[in-house]
């Protein structure tokens, strides 16, 4: 790949290295420059630009990212689409993220051009959570680099996976010493049950017995006979040696102790083994508390069906000092067991369908027949098929008739009425923004009088959206003209709600030009809104 400044007139087909501001628009870095782009650049008086030009055999950033991601994707996750050299892996279920650190390190050591970042191995993740991102640093890499990376990525089974939690029956044994209050055991049961139930499993048998090797061995057999898939033992006294009461009871029950102790604090005095073909874990004393401890790290894997070996535990030292970060346990509890973190954006759609169509005369344009159905139905069907998490429709003029028209589509929407629709578009925008769900990351604002906007147009905006990389406002562009709908990040909604008068949010585009990303779309649907009888007549000739 060649990189550097070239005369603007010679740059058709190359990749723009730096975003270039022109009057009324920005051409973003990474754009493959068309003849129209070059014409706009030269018209602005720019004679030289910095570009990247691919050599024979180079692989573009998106092609390379997609290929590497496909090789890394294992069970329980799916890949997003590559965009600007980045491709994300998303969890399909609540479970445990698994990958081999050694392979990840080997892959990242191949070339500075290719990076793979993941959430920590064996962490709990939630459905829809971002668990890994593959990023190609330059605009392209050589085929030789890609081949070397792929060789590492394919060196074993798919490298990155999520093992989902499955409902499992577990048994709990608690021992007591003379004078020990039963309330202590009661609270221990509650804490253990809450811990296990957070991951979809349950404690189906609880046995309390004396802190005696024989009684514990009998309890292990009894729990196994009840069909429990794993056994947890909480001793009245801490285990201090392999020959202590609880480990010895596992052996007496016909089992074995695979490992005693772990490089995680709190949690050092845990032991793990098996008896009667099921895992047995001796819980450390810190597990009486709901705060994160070494037992959690073992529990997550077992409830996700991942075997825990002695070697696995001995490798838990990195990050194993938990005493100063106990808030992580509370963080997980708030997320039903899933660590809060990055995720695929949740994008909502807001359809503005409240206007009185004053320029159309007596006819409500949203109900005008276009292609055998009301005009507003077209945008509704496009939104219904798009990758949006929720839809809000703002009604106003002839609200019941508009809603009845939309009820004939497949749109599942929350309807809100704007009684002040006669005071202008800003009132509908404010009404709609106030009704949006709090968990959305962004919203596509759609106009009810744009029937040629397609599902593909909307999805292209959603795929482009990434506020972290400066794509917080995604605007469709057909030719060299900007259109609608526009996807806005959540951070702009407060400003949007403060707009007054018969205007939309267009002036916010000028105020936040650096956050705009222009998304090329095919066709002119994003440019055509129906404001007059003449435009409606023109539309009907097309449909």
> Do 229 and 93 have their domain in common?
no
User: Which domain-ending residue is among 300, 334, 368?
Assistant: 334
Ranges of beta strands (E only) in 72-146 are: 77-79, 86-91, 95-98, 114-118, 124-125, 130-136, 140-142
Are 198 and 290 in contact, with CB atoms under 8 Å apart? no
State the pLDDT at residue 332.
Answer: 37
Rounded distance, CA 279 to CA 302, Å? Answer: 8
Instruction: Write b or e for each residue in 212-251: b if 16 or more Cβ atoms lie within 10 A of its Cβ, otherwise e.
Output: ebebbbbbbbbbbeeebbbbbbbbbeebeeeebbbbbbbb
Pairing, β 86-91 against β 20-22: unpaired
Q: What is the CATH number of the domain that holds 35?
A: 3.90.105.10
State the pLDDT at residue 360.
Answer: 63
Q: What is the CATH number of the domain that holds 211?
A: 3.40.980.10
> Do 47 and 150 have their domain in common?
no
Cα-Cα end-to-end distance for the chain:
46
What average pLDDT does range 191-199 have in this prediction? 96
> Do 77 and 223 have their domain in common?
no
Rounded distance, CA 301 to CA 284, Å? Answer: 17
State the pLDDT at residue 501.
Answer: 66
Rounded distance, CA 485 to CA 529, Å? Answer: 11
Q: Total structural domains in the chain?
A: 4
pLDDT in tens, 222-249: 999 999 999 999 999 989 999 999 999 9
Pairing, β 169-176 against β 516-520: unpaired
393 in any annotated domain: yes
Are 114 and 137 in contact, with CB atoms under 8 Å apart? yes
> Do 455 and 379 have their domain in common?
yes
> Do 149 and 220 have their domain in common?
no
Give residue 486's pLDDT band: very low, low, confident or very high (50, 70, 90).
very high
Asked whether the predicted pLDDT for residue 300 surpasses 80, the reply is yes
Are 135 and 347 in contact, with CB atoms under 8 Å apart? no
pLDDT in tens, 345-401: 899 999 999 987 666 666 788 998 888 899 999 999 999 999 999 999 999 999 999
342 in any annotated domain: no
Are 250 and 230 in contact, with CB atoms under 8 Å apart? no
In angstroms, what CA-CA distances link 470 with 73, 80, 473, 535? 27, 19, 8, 36
341 in any annotated domain: no
> Do 217 and 195 have their domain in common?
yes
> Do 22 and 104 have their domain in common?
no
Beta-bridge partners for 73: 160
In angstroms, what CA-CA distances link 121 with 99, 151, 205, 316, 395? 6, 22, 31, 10, 48
Ranges of beta strands (E only) in 396-489 are: 414-417, 442-447, 473-478, 481-482, 486-489
State the pLDDT at residue 331.
Answer: 37
State the pLDDT at residue 358.
Answer: 66
Are 442 and 466 in contact, with CB atoms under 8 Å apart? no
> Do 108 and 10 have their domain in common?
no
| Domain that includes residue 434, residue range | 347-542
pLDDT in tens, 367-383: 988 888 999 999 999 99
Q: What percent of the chain has pLDDT over 90?
A: 73
């Amino acid at each position: 790949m060649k990189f550097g400044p070239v005369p603007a007139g010679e740059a058709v087909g190359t990749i723009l290295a730096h975003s270039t501001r022109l009057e009324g628009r920005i051409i973003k870095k990474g754009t493959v420059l068309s003849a129209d782009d070059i014409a706009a650049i030269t018209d602005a008086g720019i004679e030289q630009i910095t570009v990247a030009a691919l050599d024979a055999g180079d692989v573009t950033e998106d092609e390379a990212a997609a290929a590497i991601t496909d090789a890394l994707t294992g069970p329980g996750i799916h890949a997003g689409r590559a965009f600007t050299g980045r491709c994300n892996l998303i969890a399909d279920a609540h479970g445990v993220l698994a990958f081999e650190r050694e392979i990840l390190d080997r892959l990242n050591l191949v070339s500075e051009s290719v990076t793979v970042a993941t959430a920590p191995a064996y962490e709990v993740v939630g459905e829809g959570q971002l668990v890994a991102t593959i990023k190609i640093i330059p605009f392209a890499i050589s085929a030789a680099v890609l081949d070397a990376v792929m060789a590492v990525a394919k060196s074993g089974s798919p490298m990155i996976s999520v093992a989902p939690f499955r409902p499992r029956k577990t048994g709990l044994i608690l021992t007591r010493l003379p004078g020990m209050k039963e309330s202590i055991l009661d609270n221990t049961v509650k804490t253990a049950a809450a811990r296990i139930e957070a991951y979809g499993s349950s404690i189906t048998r609880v046995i309390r017995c004396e802190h005696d090797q024989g009684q514990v061995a009998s309890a292990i057999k009894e729990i196994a006979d009840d069909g429990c898939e794993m056994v947890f033992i909480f001793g009245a006294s801490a285990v201090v040696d392999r020959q202590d009461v609880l480990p010895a009871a596992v052996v007496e029950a016909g089992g074995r102790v695979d490992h005693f102790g772990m490089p995680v604090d709190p949690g050092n005095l845990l032991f793990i083994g098996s008896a009667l073909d099921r895992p047995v874990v001796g819980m450390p004393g810190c597990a009486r508390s709901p705060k994160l401890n070494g037992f959690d790290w073992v529990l997550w894997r077992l409830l996700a069906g991942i075997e825990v070996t002695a070697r696995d535990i001995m490798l838990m030292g990195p990050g194993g000092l938990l005493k100063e970060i106990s808030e992580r346990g509370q963080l997980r509890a708030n997320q039903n067991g899933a660590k809060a973190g990055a995720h695929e954006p949740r994008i909502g759609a807001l359809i503005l369908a409240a206007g009185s169509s004053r320029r159309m005369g007596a006819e409500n344009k949203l109900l005008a027949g276009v292609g055998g159905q009301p005009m507003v139905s077209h945008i509704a069907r496009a939104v219904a098929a798009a990758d949006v998490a929720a839809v809000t429709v703002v009604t106003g003029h002839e609200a019941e008739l508009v809603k009845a028209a939309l009820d004939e589509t497949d749109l599942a929407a929350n309807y809100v009425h704007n009684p002040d629709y006669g005071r202008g578009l800003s009132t509908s925008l404010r009404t709609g923004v106030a009704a949006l769900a709090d968990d959305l990351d962004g919203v596509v604002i759609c106009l009810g009088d744009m029937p040629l906007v397609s599902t593909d147009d909307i999805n292209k905006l959603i795929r482009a959206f990434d506020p972290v990389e400066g794509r917080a406002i995604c605007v469709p562009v057909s030719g060299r003209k900007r259109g609608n709908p526009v996807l806005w990040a959540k951070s702009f909604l407060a400003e949007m709600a403060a707009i007054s008068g018969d205007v939309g949010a267009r002036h916010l585009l000028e105020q936040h030009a650096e956050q705009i990303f222009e998304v090329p779309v095919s066709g002119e649907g994003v440019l055509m809104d129906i404001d007059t009888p003449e435009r409606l007549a023109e539309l009907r000739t097309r449909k």
